[in-house]
Amino acid sequence: MQSIVDANAFGREQKCLAHVWTFLGLTLDAPHDGDWFVASIATRSVFVQRFGTELRGFENQCAHRLYPIRNEPQGRGPLKCSYHHWQYDSEGRAVGIPHAKVLFGALPQELCARLKRIELAIAGTLIFGRFPSSVDQSFEDFIGDGMPFLEAATQVKGRLQKLNYDIRANWRLCVHISLDDYHSPAVHPASFGREGYLHRQNVTYRQFGQHNAFLATPRPNSWETLIERCAKGEYRPTHYTIVNIIPNLFVVLTRIDFSYFYGVVLAYEAVRHDLTKARVWIYPAPFPTHNPWLQKVTDPIRALVVRHLADRIFREDNIVCERLQQAAPHMQALPRIGGLEERILWFEESYHQLILEGAKRACVTTDDRNMQP
């Protein structure tokens, strides 16, 4: 619990996570040349910018005085610092420095000043990033069996809607409630909880690598079948599905009515030990329906309904997380975890593995007691 209630332990935790592949945003957030958006990796501000057909990422700090290059959530324009007008090229090299020879004794190219690059990778329309790592783990190895699903489920072709929340709670508490299938009747009685508690034998939980999935079906090999059909381009959703990618991402396919499904991308960004930013993208799922014409006609109304329902559900969850944060300093024992909360334990196992690996990599001294969930 230590990193949930203690700012110093939280800081050590975040240093360990800086080199983990982390979801940043969608390719649709920077669709045109010069477009950029801001995100974060382990509390460090970064931005992704499009240069022609290529996306590149940088830490959001000028090489001169560490002033943020980007000070809005997104926009378009050259790589130019608004503090002293240092300008950079697409490689992050300083190429325009006012009065460089007089003030710094060298031309811009001679100073070798540059922005810090981050590594980027893309799955479907999802952009992931990390600070350069000495660990030789490719993005494909990190995502593993989840890659076909991410590529199939996130091809946004309809209206894209966004929601944003500031949650006065630790990011792990936010992840926990998104992995919790036990709370719906109590917290969401008018939506997910209308039909009562789930029966564990009627759903499928699956681990793949450090990640996990929920499928609202008991069919044997349902996860393997889903991945196989996604890889072949034959997948059509038939049930509620949630995929959790460590450390901060959820991709959801949820049925709205009849054969219509919506996709939801949810990311939790740690800000402080007691503050999390949640970003949500909502869109019609990119799969054929039985009646495309009817879907096109009714989608504007459906989009409003989906946004309203999603907003209500997230706000209900956020209240619970904030109350848990208030109670966290007084907890004297580890929580009891039941069968419908199993994925929380899986997440914590993966989280601790990342912390231990990150501590070795960053030469950060950690106390095992501070790493307990």
CATH code for the domain defined by 143-354: 3.90.380.10
pLDDT in tens, 32-84: 999 999 999 999 999 999 999 999 999 999 999 999 999 999 999 999 999 99
Half-sphere exposure of 37 (CA within 13 A, CB side): 14
Tokens of 322: 């904030």
Query: Looking at per-residue confidence, does 5 or 363 come out higher?
Result: 5
pTM of the model: 0.93
Whether the per-residue pLDDT at 263 is higher than 60: the answer is yes
Query: Looking at per-residue confidence, does 164 or 360 come out higher?
Result: 164
CB 119 within 8 A of CB 132: yes
Query: In the prediction, which pLDDT does 367 show?
Result: 37
Q: How confident is the model at residue 363 (pLDDT cuts 50, 70, 90)?
A: low
Q: How confident is the model at residue 136 (pLDDT cuts 50, 70, 90)?
A: confident
CB 191 within 8 A of CB 309: yes
Mean pLDDT to the nearest integer, 330-358: 93
pLDDT in tens, 99-127: 999 999 999 999 999 999 999 999 999 99
pLDDT in tens, 316-326: 999 999 999 99
Q: Which residue type, as a one-letter code, is found at position 331?
A: M
342: left (phi over 0), alpha (psi -120 to 50) or beta: alpha
CA gap 265, 128 in Å, rounded: 13
77 phi and psi, to 5 degrees? 155, 175
Tokens of 34: 């010069």
The structure tokens 């799955």 sit at 123
- The kind and range of the H/E element at 8 are helix 7-17
Mean pLDDT to the nearest integer, 364-370: 37
Query: In the prediction, which pLDDT does 362 show?
Result: 62
User: Considering only CA atoms, which of 50, 53, 46, 96 is closest in space to residue 73?
Assistant: 46
Query: Looking at per-residue confidence, does 303 or 290 come out higher?
Result: 303
Query: In the prediction, which pLDDT does 292 show?
Result: 75
Q: The sheet that has 22-26: what strands, in order across it?
A: 22-26, 126-130, 117-123, 54-59, 44-51, 35-41, 74-76
Whether the per-residue pLDDT at 347 is higher than 50: the answer is yes
Query: Looking at per-residue confidence, does 177 or 372 come out higher?
Result: 177
DSSP, collapsed to helix, strand or coil, labels residue 233 as coil
What percentage of the chain reaches a pLDDT higher than 90?
Answer: 84
CB 64 within 8 A of CB 104: no
Query: In the prediction, which pLDDT does 331 show?
Result: 86
Class of domain 28-118: mainly beta
**Average predicted confidence (pLDDT) for the chain:** 93
Domain segments of the chain: what residues? 28-118, 143-354
- Reported residue count of the chain is 373
- Listed in sequence order, the DSSP H helices in 159-291 are 171-178, 184-187, 222-232
What percentage of the chain reaches a pLDDT higher than 70?
Answer: 96
DSSP class per residue in 270-330: EEETTEEEEEEEEEE-SS--S-HHHHHHHHHHHHHHHHHHHHHHHHHHHHHHHHHHHHGGG
Whether the per-residue pLDDT at 269 is higher than 90: the answer is yes
Query: In the prediction, which pLDDT does 364 show?
Result: 40
Mean pLDDT to the nearest integer, 214-235: 96
CB 283 within 8 A of CB 158: yes
CB 233 within 8 A of CB 215: no
